[in-house]
Amino acid sequence: MTEYTEQQEMLRQTVREFARNEVAPGAAERDATGQFDYDLYRRVGELGVIGLLFPEEDGGSGADLLTYCLALEEIARVDLSLSWTTFVSLAGAHTVAAQGTEEQKALWTKDWVDPVLRGEATTSAGLSEPDAGSDNSRLKTRAVLDGDDWVINGRKIFITNAGLDNNVGVMVLCLTDPETRRYETILVPRGTPGYTIGPPMKKMGLRSSDTRELFFDDCRVPAINRFGVEGEGYQRIMSGFFVGRIVIASTALGLAEECLEIATAYAKERVAFGRPIARFQYVQGMLTDMALNVELGRLIRDKAARLSEAGKPFAKEAAMAKWFITETAKKAADDAVQIFGGMGCMDECPASRYYRDIRAATIGEGTTEIQRYVVGREMGLFR
């Protein structure tokens, strides 16, 4: 186990108690109904989790990336859907706070940043398209500058949070020059004419996390809605991906830890052939493998987060963390179901939900195959 500061351990314990006492009790019901709990999300904001990465001058607490990951890890132990909703909510708000000009902050802080930090609002990030997931070079959503407005046409898919009642809008990655492959990140508020939100998508897991397809049909927004250095939208998104991979790895780590805990407890209680199944070597092998991989995952996650905070190259470590931990969590959930046996296939058993939820983690924020490619690239294997 790696060492954390006293402040990190205190926050971790606080969020753990919150997750156990307030998040866990309704998780199964939210999964069954596919409903998002707005009051619960507001309490996440009141706890300060959403604002951890924001500077104090913007209403946050100025925490480092590892501290944020520890907090989200604890929520993910009992509800992966809520942890992903919380993370994605930062997309638009953090862009305004970190990349906005003074004029843009004056326009959007009140409606985009402050409500998100309080847990009263969510934002979304519009990147993936029907023909462009891991292959971002195939992005087609266009934005054309027409006088003082951007006119956007295209589609985005698998977008988190966009259909929630408290969603204020989406940051959309748009192609602005097909010849040079220039992109811009453009803020599109909810309710903008030409911006349509599709019905909720039916998913095998993460059911209480909202997922939609978005449509832009001559959607017109002011030119000031473009954020960051002109023409560098794609680079910013890719840079954000590396941090996002560490965060998603952290949520998967939380789920893997929980699978280990509940499966171990059950194996000690469940009796077969006259003794607890924890005394059988095959079961022991599954549990000890889980324990080993959780510890290894924590080490690589912590290293990646600390490299990021130190301003050192961390793309390889971020990809390794995403690859190893999400695959580890997928295996942990599978083994947990196996240990629970028939009960593991029942919705009454948390392992069933964890098994369904974690499957998307090896795909979102870059597939396992893409992470392997990134590691190879960073090792210089393609030169």
| Residues with catalytic function | 365
Q: Which of 286, 294, 271, 273 is nearest to 339 (CA)?
A: 286
The rounded distance, in Å, linking the Cα atoms of 347 and 328 is 22
Distance of CA 310 to the CA centre of its chain: 22
Give, rounded to a whole angstrom, the gap between the first and last alpha carbons of the chain: 37
Distances (CA, A) of 310 to 7, 103, 301: 19, 30, 14
Strands in the chain per DSSP E? 122-126, 142-146, 149-160, 167-177, 182-189, 195-197, 211-222, 226-227, 271-272, 275-276
SS3 call for 62: coil
Closest alpha carbon to 204 in 339, 352, 366: 352
Q: HSE of 248 in the Cβ direction (CA atoms, 13 Å)?
A: 28
Cα angle, residue 323 at apex, residues 160 and 377 outer, rounded to 5°: 110
Quote the Cα angle for 156-161-167, to 5°: 110
Q: How far apart are CA 168 and CA 180, in angstroms?
A: 32
CB neighbourhood size of 116 (10 A)? 28
Alpha helices in 89-134 (DSSP H): 90-99, 102-108, 114-117
Burial of 50 (C-beta count, 10 Å sphere; 0-12/13-18/19+): buried
Count the Cβ atoms, other than its own, within 10 Å of residue 219. Answer: 23
**DSSP character for 99?**
H
How far, in Å, CA of 119 to CA of 80, rounded?
Answer: 17
